[in-house]
């Protein structure tokens, strides 16, 4: 059955708008094919990312529990930072032992012609850097670990 899909509509000389249209999707581990408004488009799939013609888009998780767990650093909240998709580590900004704040950029992974900054999920200490600049990584491979700060009782 068709599902709603939000699509941008662009008309020269006018502001772009988004509209919801019915769409069908065929999903496999390697690709997503969407049929909407009489068009059929195939996107290469790598985890939570879709790519087409050199562009890439992250598919956002609408499950608030899963999103909260991911923001906390993984299913167990361990602070393990993983590769969002296969790629190459182009920058390593942090070192083991560094104190970091939530949102600090620790590494950069280049994938599908896009740079993905891997950030600290919470305030804490970098306890492990598992890669170096130039490393090729697989999707979900652990890149680094940030242990959360523990409060000391007065």
For residues 148 and 153, which has the higher predicted lDDT (pLDDT)? 148
Using a pLDDT cut of 70, give the percent of the chain over it: 82
Quick one: average pLDDT of 119-144? 92
pLDDT of residue 125: 94
pLDDT of residue 22: 82
Query: What sign does the CA torsion over 46, 52, 55, 59 have?
Result: negative
Backbone Cα Rg of the chain: 19
Alpha carbons 47 and 22: distance in angstroms, whole number: 24
pLDDT of residue 145: 93
**Model's pTM, two decimal places?**
0.52
What is the per-residue pLDDT across 12-62, written as a single tens digit (0 to 9) for each? 888 888 777 788 888 777 888 888 888 888 888 877 777 888 777 777 655
Average pLDDT, the chain: 80
What is the per-residue pLDDT across 61-108, written as a single tens digit (0 to 9) for each? 554 444 444 444 444 445 789 888 889 999 999 999 999 998 899 999
For residues 151 and 47, which has the higher predicted lDDT (pLDDT)? 47
pLDDT of residue 76: 40
Longest dimension (CA), the chain: 66
Helical (H) or strand (E) element with 68: helix 64-71
Which domains are present in the chain? 3-46 (no CATH), 78-148 (2.40.50.100)
């Amino acid at each position: 059955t068709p599902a709603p899909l939000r699509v941008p509509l662009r008309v020269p000389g006018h502001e772009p708008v988004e509209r919801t249209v019915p769409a069908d999707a065929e999903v496999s581990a390697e690709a997503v094919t969407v049929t909407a408004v009489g068009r059929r488009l195939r996107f290469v799939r790598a985890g939570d990312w879709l790519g087409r013609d050199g562009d890439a888009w992250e598919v956002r998780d609408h499950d608030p529990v899963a999103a909260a767990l991911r923001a906390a650093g993984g299913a167990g909240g361990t602070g393990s930072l993983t590769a969002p998709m296969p790629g190459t580590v182009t920058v390593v900004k942090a070192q083991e032992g560094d104190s970091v704040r939530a949102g600090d950029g620790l590494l950069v992974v280049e994938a599908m012609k896009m740079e993905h900054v891997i950030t600290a999920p919470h305030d804490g200490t970098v306890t492990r850097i598992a890669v170096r600049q130039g490393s090729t990584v697989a999707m979900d491979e652990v890149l680094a670990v940030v242990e959360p700060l523990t409060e000391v009782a007065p």
